[in-house]
Amino acid sequence: MSGSGSRRIFAWLSLAAALLAVAVPATAAEGPRRPNVLFIAVDDLNDWTGFLGGHPQARTPNLDRLAARGVHFTRAYCPAPACNPSRTSLMTGFLPSTTGVYHNNQPWRPVLPDAVTLPQHFTAAGYDVAGGGKIFHNSFNDRASWPEWFGLSGRDHPKPDQVPANDIPRTAHFDWGPVDVPDEAMGDHKTVSWAIDWLDADRDRPFFLAVGLIRPHLPWYAPRPYFDHYPIGEIALPEALADDLDDVPPAGIAMAKPEGDHRKVVEAGQWEEAVQGYLASIEFADAQIGRLLDALDASGHRDDTIIVFWGDHGWHLGEKEHWRKFALWEEATRVPLIVVAPGVTGPNGRSERTVSLLDLYPTLIDLCDLPLRPGLEGEGLTPLLRDPAASWDRPVVTTHGRGNHAVRSERWRYIRYADGSEELYDHEADPREWTNLADDPRWQAVTAELAESLPKTDAPDAPRAN
């Protein structure tokens, strides 16, 4: 699809949405008040939580109690394993293969000038809307989406006295270590404090409040007590095979970059220290989420507020000799996702269906009875919120770079790279994705079936920032 063609389609969708918004009363004064929404995001969190069980030492008591209040998804996946394209998809409702936003250095608004973002749709429906922290990718936050915005400067994120704090030459924030400051000095604490104050204000309309935490994004700097909970010498490292890349095609190895971060960590003897930093950052973020949940309950809005908690993508810590996100395997693409919807979800719900962050936009439209939005590419999750075990035969697609896609069903992960090379993993027999079955003729029918879910077209790359 040409750039001009894409713009015309998005302009039409925006116009249709605006007409629908006019046709439906914003506040529906004659009917019941719409529910509030507390929209909580964290950055770079994989499955290292208590409710997902991704690491035996992870401490996430507040996320675990939130999961117990509603439905959590064990197979939730990101549209892209990078902050900007994943968040762009979630907030606009469109796949990277539709928009051409594949990487962190591609501003999304220039290629989607008429897109109506999730908070804009709530604003048009008569909600009080505010956001703070990190919701869009920081470099491309969309101020037009926020009637009220709370941001922080770099000075609000304390650093150790010596940077880098580890023994590895610092590249792209690849650093970790404790900081000797109280929680109150940290940027995420300040964001949550702002949100708590916002919740305390009297309002005569329902609200949509988005709160985005930076941790556990790199660098892993957190107050020292969180590091002290994970003594060096007692930390469990991720399960990893030394020869795990032997059956991975060159395109996958290029994403893994085994001679980059992984080699640095191993040669410096910093693997355990890195895991310590990640675990400490997760626990710190969990503590801030606990403060926010306590404030919501104290505000009197517990029973009329939908809570959505999501992570933008996963994270590798040495699996497949890879660190960070930026890959199409399970660790980089699986995300934590919890939805608490009063009157819809029951307690302790656990859904094993494959779902996408792309599904949140249509889900919130449904739960809040907002005007429909034509063209959204996700699927509303309300049937699974009502019955987590409901029938749901829908694979999820994750994209990293133009033409590189992963398809995840409940049993299988199929990857096809832009050069046509492939990977196939059977999660029933191989949950760590150690054995690539793509060349095994016994599974060619499976590969062909999964390939049907690949995007039919790949939009050209959006222009990159200078």
Tell me whether residue 183 is exposed, middle or buried, using C-beta atoms within 10 angstroms of its C-beta: 0 to 12, 13 to 18, 19 or more.
middle
The pLDDT score that the predictor gives to residue 200 is 94
More confident residue, 193 or 30: 193
For residues 114 and 14, the answer to whether their CB atoms sit within 8 Å is yes
The pLDDT score that the predictor gives to residue 16 is 40
Confidence grade of residue 159 (pLDDT, cut at 50, 70, 90): very high
Helix (H, G, I), strand (E, B) or coil at 21: helix
Residues 411-430: tens digit of each pLDDT: 999 999 999 999 999 999 99
For residues 212 and 263, the answer to whether their CB atoms sit within 8 Å is no
Residue 121 bears catalytic tag: no
Task: Report whether pLDDT(406) > 60.
Answer: yes
List the catalytic residue out of 103, 121, 137, 189. Answer: 137
Confidence grade of residue 219 (pLDDT, cut at 50, 70, 90): very high
Task: Report whether pLDDT(20) > 50.
Answer: no
Residues in the chain: 466
Tokens of 61: 């008591």
Helix (H, G, I), strand (E, B) or coil at 119: helix
Confidence grade of residue 284 (pLDDT, cut at 50, 70, 90): very high
Residues 166-175: tens digit of each pLDDT: 988 767 789 9
Measured in whole angstroms, the distance separating CA 321 from the mean position of its chain's CA atoms is: 22
Residue 137 bears catalytic tag: yes
List the catalytic residue out of 83, 301, 313, 316. Answer: 83
The beta strand positions in 316-382, using DSSP E, are: 316-317, 323-324, 334-335, 337-340, 349-356
Task: Report whether pLDDT(238) > 90.
Answer: yes
The pLDDT score that the predictor gives to residue 138 is 87
For residues 312 and 335, the answer to whether their CB atoms sit within 8 Å is yes
Task: Report whether pLDDT(21) > 80.
Answer: no
Q: Which domains, and CATH codes, for the chain?
A: 3-25+33-397 (3.40.720.10)
CA dihedral angle for residue 11, residue 14, residue 19, residue 22, rounded to 10 degrees? -140
The pLDDT score that the predictor gives to residue 154 is 65
Q: Mean pLDDT of all residues in the chain?
A: 93
Q: Name, in order, each residue with C-beta under 8 angstroms of 114's C-beta and a sequence gap of 6 or more.
A: 7, 10, 11, 13, 14, 15
The pLDDT score that the predictor gives to residue 31 is 61
Beta strand 349-356 with 149-150 is unpaired
